[in-house]
Amino acid sequence: MRKIWKLIRPAVFWQYRRGSWQYDVIVGLILVFIFATPRAWFRDQPRIPNPQQIVMLPSENGRPVFWIDPELVADAPPEQLEAKIHALLQKRTGRQVGILKVEPAKDSEGSLKGYLVRAQF
């Protein structure tokens, strides 16, 4: 156990000199972790959707939830709203998407801010 700790201790306490190969390896591993880690591991999604966007929000009960900006579907008649959203989600995700529910999201004054779409893959 002591031999293992002797090998690991300098890396844990960052005791290598700058420019040494050990230092470079540790920095390389950190960079690989930063750039190779999927965003989904950290649920890194914008909280407030920007205009003209579809944003995947944290899922509920394993089912994905999407925020759809109302400007993306403004030209769709009410009876074709769900079909338009379905087509947008298929294009955005590149996967077969089933829509479970489309809820209009309104502010306190009643104006439409977007749509919350509960879906399944």
Domain definitions of the chain by residue range: 2-37, 41-120
Give the global pTM. 0.53
Cα maximum dimension of the chain: 71
Q: Which pLDDT value is given to residue 15?
A: 85
Predicted local confidence at residue 49, as pLDDT: 46
Q: With contact defined as beta carbons under 8 Å apart, do 60 and 49 qualify? A: no
> Is 50 a residue whose pLDDT tops 70?
no
pLDDT, average across residues 10-27: 88
Token pair listed for 29: 């591993």
Which residues, other chains included, contact 89 with Cβ-Cβ below 8 Å and sequence gap of 6+?
54, 66, 97, 99, 117, 119
pLDDT mean across residues, the chain:
84
Residue 109 in tokens: 């004054």
Q: What is the pLDDT of residue 95?
A: 83
Model confidence at 81, pLDDT cuts 50, 70, 90, reads confident
Please check the confidence at residue 60 and state whether its pLDDT lies above 80: no
Structure tokens at 30: 């950190």
